[in-house]
Amino acid sequence: MIFETERLQVRKLILKDLLPFHKMQSNPKVMQFADGEIKTLQGHEKELKLLVEKYQKKNNDFWIYAIERKQDKEFIGTVALVKDDNDDEIGYRFLEKYWGNDYGFEICKGLINYCKKMGFSKIVGYVVDKNIASAKILEKLNFIKVDSFINDEHQQETKYILKL
């Protein structure tokens, strides 16, 4: 286990996560604010294998973990820590059926605590402006808006930063 919150725990992805991972990653509503294309089951299997293999690499700068509910060990989403130039970027996504349960706020709060323990001095989050729910989560957790720009998918996006 990487870290836990009151209702959730974060662990390394495993190949058995393929079906819920694929369901999440192939849902247009889940992916509407993310970059990348929706893949086939085989494409997501390849992606998942690459993510699992990255755990073994010393110079990995792209950590994606599984989020599961403590009560039933159900895979409900993923959380990310990505080294992006000089920034440590956070991200998360959930299967649509788990939206509206405050899991986004809970996982971000847990991720902040984890990053503090790991010695990070700051973390950043990038949010497409139409993703109002994620913007509210970061603002509620005292992230500060530092930049606004048009991203590669031609969407207005805001960069948030939190000094730890």
Contact predicate 109/77, CB 8 Å: no
Tokens matching residue 96: 């649509």
Topology of the domain comprising 3-120: Aminopeptidase (3.40.630)
C-alpha to C-alpha distances, 44 to 41, 98, 137, nearest whole angstrom: 5, 20, 28
Compute the chain's Rg from CA coordinates: 15
Whole-number pLDDT of residue 35: 74
Domains in the chain: boundaries:
3-120
Whole-number pLDDT of residue 58: 84
| pTM > 0.85 | yes
pLDDT in tens, the chain (164 residues): 999 999 999 999 999 999 999 999 999 999 998 877 789 999 999 999 999 999 999 888 999 999 999 999 999 999 999 987 789 999 999 999 999 999 999 999 999 999 999 999 999 999 999 999 999 999 999 999 999 999 988 999 999 999 99
> What is the distance between the alpha carbons of residues 133 and 123, in angstroms, rounded to a whole number?
19
